[in-house]
Structure 1
Amino acid sequence: MAQQQTCLTQLEDQALMMKSKREGLFREPLPRSHSTFSYNIEQAFSDYLTAAYLQISSENPRANLPCPVYTDTYQQLVAQGARPANATVADLISPFELKQADSRKAVLLIHGLTDSPFTYHDLAQVYYQQGYTVRTILLPGHGTAPAALRDIDADDWQKASVYAIERTLKDFDQVILGGYSTGAALVIDYLTQGPVDNKITAAMLFSPASEPHNKNGWLAKWVDAIPFVNWIDKDADLDFAKYESFPFSAASASHEAMSRISLDELRHRQLPNVAIFSTFSDIDTTIDNQATFKILTKLHDPKTRKNNQLDRLVYYGDDKNIPASFPADYQIIRDDCDTDDCKKIKGMSHIGIVNKPSNPYYGRKALYRNCGSYLDDDTLYTACKYQKDVVMGERTAENLQAHKPFARLTFNPYFDKLAMHINGFIKDIESAAQ
């Protein structure tokens, strides 16, 4: 009997991989058949979750494909009656609410560009174990197919984020806001728009999107207007949890989201009096972290934020790359590599920070590998995907030159330590609030 095709067997199918890379089999969403959610603050979060699930189920061409990727979060969702025992792609990438019984505190987590709420399956456990209900959202244009990003802009993401934040504030007494990459930019944008509800106790920023290394991101919206020029990258799109292909319109929307938290913008805004936890790598090849340092410096201003002494940064990098202008009183945490295993990793990547090494899809022994550095070289692309031993790390020019093939790191070898730092931060902010 033939093996049932799943999201994992698709990854093993080399012929399908190359065919999809050439022909874009999963690049276009199916025709929309369900109405969109209005993001009215009076609508219950459960209604939002249902609407998002229906949208993914109807528009994602692989939504109903079996996907046996059982994270701890998924198993808890099954136990809570929020997911079926046998997962499909839609079940894993839809936004979720991991509920605590009789708890009045919650964390809302916003994913990044091209991602899905699956991004937070590992981090959700960290917050849940601290007694928090965990909510995630799906940014418009995500969860279906990459071409859906051609129809959205930063305003769409902001609208969804504002609904989720304010609905969560309506439902809980204490709220932590968390964002990864573009999601972090949306969190900062919200918190600096005006008076902040005192229910918000902290902002937690993972690989926050401040400025891209490519300073010509503003050009994307003009390039996108040229007929038949739609894509920056075209990949196989067999990663069930995030898009691999990348349209120009997505770069334009991301640039707009980041421009809203530029230093020029923040200069005219009210800084939030909430504690800020952030973590990033100094060799991140997606985001210019010198710009991130400048934004964190601005947000740390002691004249307007009495809680800035609680700010802390988990920094994966070299001290020499910390600018001299960075506040001397900023608590910086560095985790040294203390195992032979982590010494094999060639630098923390932008996309790896949020996943633990045992993640069944993105972890050290998982099937998925990020090989987007070789889109124009089928030989290296295939070797990266299927060769038994592949060096992993951030896709710097030096790493790509020294190691062939080379896969971009999709997990955090220091994840357990990061979880410990998050727990310590939460205890500190809760103690300060008493």
Structure 2
Amino acid sequence: MHRAARHLRLPHLALSLSLLTLQACASGDAPLGQASFAEYRQQTLAWMQANRTFQTDDHGAELEWNAPREWRPDGVAKRGILLVHGLGDSPFSFNDVGQKLADQGFLVRSVLLPGHGSKPSDMLDVTLKQWQEVVREQAQIMQREVPTVYLGGFSTGADLVLDYAYEHPEIAGLVLFSPAFRPENTYAWLTQYIGWFRPWLAKPDDGVRPMQTPVRYLNVPTNGFAQFYRSALLAQDHIEQRPYDKPVFIAITQHDSVLDTAYVLDNFNTRFRNPTSRLIWYGDTPAPAAKTPRVLVRNDYLPQYRIAQFSHMGLMFSPDDALYGKDGKQRICWNGQQAEDMHKCLNGGPVWYSDWGHREPGKVFARLTFNPYFEWQMGVMMGVLNGERSSAPLSLVDEPPSRRH
């Protein structure tokens, strides 16, 4: 058996955090500038303890879910991968992916982007530079420890790791989930200029929209969206200047409400040219011009799971995940529907699953937070990381494993 990171025993964790709390309280910013991942994790835990608005009585669990995490393989790791979450999310995004990669011999680490893991208001003054800094620091630390380093990211995190990889050719390749290269919302650029007079796009603490869950934010300040948009501009600049020739794995869903999926698909075919690269497209078969042996298509309407469409955030989680799986404890009911339907969802009523904003008469929708194709997707990803050119044929648009009863 491979082991996850060795976390401190609870009494030792409490003692360590208490010793660091004064330092964490002295600054509203998440700690940066550490010499090791262990030091970074420890100081970040202390900062979260001092600054987090806890959502449950189990503070220890919330800290672990949101803290930078490490998964170690058995034996000496020859390859490593640093994983970066998206806007409003946390390292919990990689709860399932991280362990699977460690099982394949990788040293795996995740980071917590500044402004995250505590409370949404801590993002009011965060900068893209701070996000880039934590990626740079932890990538360089990992590069000193293992000979081959990959980077992985979700949404905004995908933009950040792409930015670093373009500037550092020693990075061996990329793993990108729902990469936010270009936002779907054509007015996203305005967020760079309106934060000073409208710090929140959606009023905070209005009694209707929840602010956060134990593992992610549900409301983000305007400034957070502005930094998200700037990270997308970085990605676009790199992609348009020159192709990226290292292996890349991408997973996206056609019905993503956040990003321009056609832009991602088009640029995968024209700018990410490595023959071992693969893109998984969940949805309808894309246009003929996008049909290449490197693009794999899977249907995202799965009524046996009550899934109407896949979501931006659900691609990385196993159906067996304790919080986000098909029987998980965290149901996201704030999904762009009427308040009456949201309350039915919150009260445990039957739901279908979709991305944000999808509606159908007579159905209540929760956010889809798991991927029935998770195990197959991991196999495709490992094929890319292992440099394999073979893949399932494009014409195979099949169903996931049968739902367990």
TM range (shorter): 0.7 to 0.9
Is residue 413 from structure 1 mapped to residue 372 from structure 2 by the alignment? Answer: yes
Per the alignment, residue 172 of structure 2 pairs with 201
Q: Distance in 2 between matches of 1:318 and 1:233?
A: 36
Counting only pairs closer than 5 Å after superposition, residues 364-403 of structure 1 correspond to structure 2 as 364-374=326-336, 377-396=338-357, 399-403=358-362
Secondary structure of the residue aligned to 1:134 is strand
Counting only pairs closer than 5 Å after superposition, residues 3-42 of structure 1 correspond to structure 2 as 33-35=25-27, 36-39=30-33
Is residue 249 from structure 1 mapped to residue 210 from structure 2 by the alignment? Answer: no
Which of 266, 278, 282 is matched with 1:312 structurally?
278
Per the alignment, residue 249 of structure 2 pairs with 277
Secondary structure of the residue aligned to 1:333 is strand
* Paired amino acid for 2:385: I
Which of 106, 125, 130 is matched with 2:104 structurally?
130
Per the alignment, residue 319 of structure 2 pairs with 357
TM-aligned CA distance change 1:420 to 1:338, over 3 Å: farther
Counting only pairs closer than 5 Å after superposition, residues 15-414 of structure 1 correspond to structure 2 as 33-35=25-27, 36-39=30-33, 43-62=35-54, 65-66=57-58, 87-100=60-73, 101-193=75-167, 195-197=168-170, 200-226=171-197, 229-232=199-202, 234=204, 235-262=209-236, 264-269=237-242, 271-301=243-273, 308-319=274-285, 321-322=286-287, 324=289, 326=290, 329-335=292-298, 341-342=304-305, 344-374=306-336, 377-396=338-357, 399-414=358-373
Question: Could you report, residue by residue, the CA deviation over 1:90-125 in whole angstroms, capped at 9, with x for unpaired residues?
Answer: 122101111233222211111111011011110012
TM-aligned CA distance change 1:380 to 1:268, over 3 Å: same
Does the aligned pair in 1 maintain the 2:119–2:212 contact within 8 Å? no
Does the aligned pair in 1 maintain the 2:244–2:272 contact within 8 Å? no
Which sections of structure 1, spanning at least 5 residues, go unmatched? 1-30, 68-86, 302-307
* Paired amino acid for 1:129: D
Q: Distance in 2 between matches of 1:65 and 1:281?
A: 35
Deviation at residue 224 of structure 1 after TM alignment: 1.0
Deviation at residue 413 of structure 1 after TM alignment: 1.5
Question: Could you report, residue by residue, the CA deviation over 1:328-367 in whole angstroms, capped at 9, with x for unpaired residues?
Answer: 655122345798633x211111011011111111111123
Does the aligned pair in 2 maintain the 1:63–1:88 contact within 8 Å? no
Deviation at residue 246 of structure 1 after TM alignment: 1.9
Does the aligned pair in 1 maintain the 2:36–2:141 contact within 8 Å? yes
Does the aligned pair in 2 maintain the 1:34–1:55 contact within 8 Å? no
TM-aligned CA distance change 1:334 to 1:151, over 3 Å: same
Normalised TM-score (structure 2): 0.82
Per the alignment, residue 304 of structure 1 pairs with none
Deviation at residue 174 of structure 1 after TM alignment: 1.3
Per the alignment, residue 84 of structure 1 pairs with none
TM-aligned CA distance change 1:125 to 1:403, over 3 Å: farther
Per the alignment, residue 10 of structure 2 pairs with none
Deviation at residue 411 of structure 1 after TM alignment: 0.9
Secondary structure of the residue aligned to 2:176 is strand
Q: Distance in 2 between matches of 1:52 and 1:283?
A: 35
Per the alignment, residue 15 of structure 1 pairs with none
Does the aligned pair in 1 maintain the 2:91–2:110 contact within 8 Å? yes
Does the aligned pair in 2 maintain the 1:117–1:136 contact within 8 Å? yes
Secondary structure of the residue aligned to 2:226 is helix
Does the aligned pair in 2 maintain the 1:126–1:423 contact within 8 Å? no
Report % sequence identity: 25
Say how many residue pairs are matched: 362
Does the aligned pair in 2 maintain the 1:57–1:63 contact within 8 Å? no
Deviation at residue 300 of structure 1 after TM alignment: 2.2
Secondary structure of the residue aligned to 2:172 is strand
Q: Distance in 2 between matches of 1:339 and 1:55?
A: 42
Question: Could you report, residue by residue, the CA deviation over 1:266-320 in whole angstroms, capped at 9, with x for unpaired residues?
Answer: 3335x4431011011011111110121233234324xxxxxx111111110212x
Per the alignment, residue 11 of structure 1 pairs with none
Does the aligned pair in 2 maintain the 1:57–1:64 contact within 8 Å? no
Q: Distance in 2 between matches of 1:268 and 1:357?
A: 39
Deviation at residue 250 of structure 1 after TM alignment: 1.0
Q: Distance in 2 between matches of 1:430 and 1:322?
A: 23
Does the aligned pair in 2 maintain the 1:185–1:209 contact within 8 Å? yes
Q: Distance in 2 between matches of 1:427 and 1:125?
A: 17
Does the aligned pair in 2 maintain the 1:211–1:258 contact within 8 Å? yes
* Paired amino acid for 2:46: L
Q: Distance in 1 between matches of 2:92 and 2:313?
A: 13
Deviation at residue 151 of structure 1 after TM alignment: 1.3
Deviation at residue 155 of structure 1 after TM alignment: 1.4
* Paired amino acid for 2:64: D
Greater RCO, 1 or 2 (C-alpha within 8 Å, sep 6+): 1
Does the aligned pair in 1 maintain the 2:153–2:175 contact within 8 Å? yes
Which sections of structure 2, spanning at least 5 residues, go unmatched? 1-22, 391-405
TM-aligned CA distance change 1:361 to 1:172, over 3 Å: same
Q: Distance in 2 between matches of 1:153 and 1:330?
A: 39
TM-aligned CA distance change 1:58 to 1:106, over 3 Å: same
Is residue 427 from structure 1 mapped to residue 397 from structure 2 by the alignment? Answer: no
Question: Could you report, residue by residue, the CA deviation over 1:149-181 in whole angstroms, capped at 9, with x for unpaired residues?
Answer: 111121111111111112111111111211111
Deviation at residue 322 of structure 1 after TM alignment: 3.7
